[in-house]
Amino acid sequence: SAVISQKPSRDICQRGTSLTIQCQVDSQVTMMFWYRQQPGQSLTLIATANQGSEATYESGFVIDKFPISRPNLTFSTLTVSNMSPEDSSIYLCSVGDRGRNFAEAFFGQGTRLTVV
């Protein structure tokens, strides 16, 4: 199974600034994803982080706002750009791997972002 480390675990940022969130996996994985979870809500998929190419964004999310890097099979970053209070959420990294079950998606603990 994959172990995911996210940094930072939480941050308070000023509006108009940017924050880069790091996701480190302890093994090489094919698929990496970024989700957002607003307070009291379900998870919303932002994008698929593709190794060596541009990320694939879901409807409602754009590269200028959420640039993503995936330089190798164990690491990815998500940047939340030009932040506003509406960006206050938990951001989670997820990876796909074959666990002890047929297939699993593993999630990091998340980054709790507060924009003031």
Partner 1 sequence: LAKTTQPISMDSYEGQEVNITCSHNNIATNDYITWYQQFPSQGPRFIIQGYKTKVTNEVASLFIPADRKSSTLSLPRVSLSDTAVYYCLVGDLNGGTYKYIFGTGTRLKVLA
Q: Give the binding-site size for partner 1 (rule: CB under 8 A).
A: 27
Looking at 11-19, 66-74, 78-86, 90-98, which segment touches partner 1 (CB under 8 A)? Answer: 90-98
Q: Confirm if 74 and 65 have CB atoms less than 8 A apart.
A: no
Question: Under the criterion CB under 8 A, does residue 107 sit at the interface with partner 1?
Answer: yes
Identify which of residues 76 and 108 has a Cβ nearer to partner 1 in the complex. 108
Count of CB atoms within 10 A of residue 72's CB?
A: 11
Question: Under the criterion CB under 8 A, does residue 42 sit at the interface with partner 1?
Answer: yes
Count of CB atoms within 10 A of residue 109's CB?
A: 12
Identify which of residues 84 and 109 has a Cβ nearer to partner 1 in the complex. 109
Strand-pair category, 10-13 with 111-115: parallel
Q: How far apart are CA 3 and CA 16, in angstroms?
A: 32
- Which residues of this protein are in contact with partner 1, per CB under 8 A? 4, 30-31, 33, 35, 42-45, 48, 92, 94-97, 99, 101-110, 112
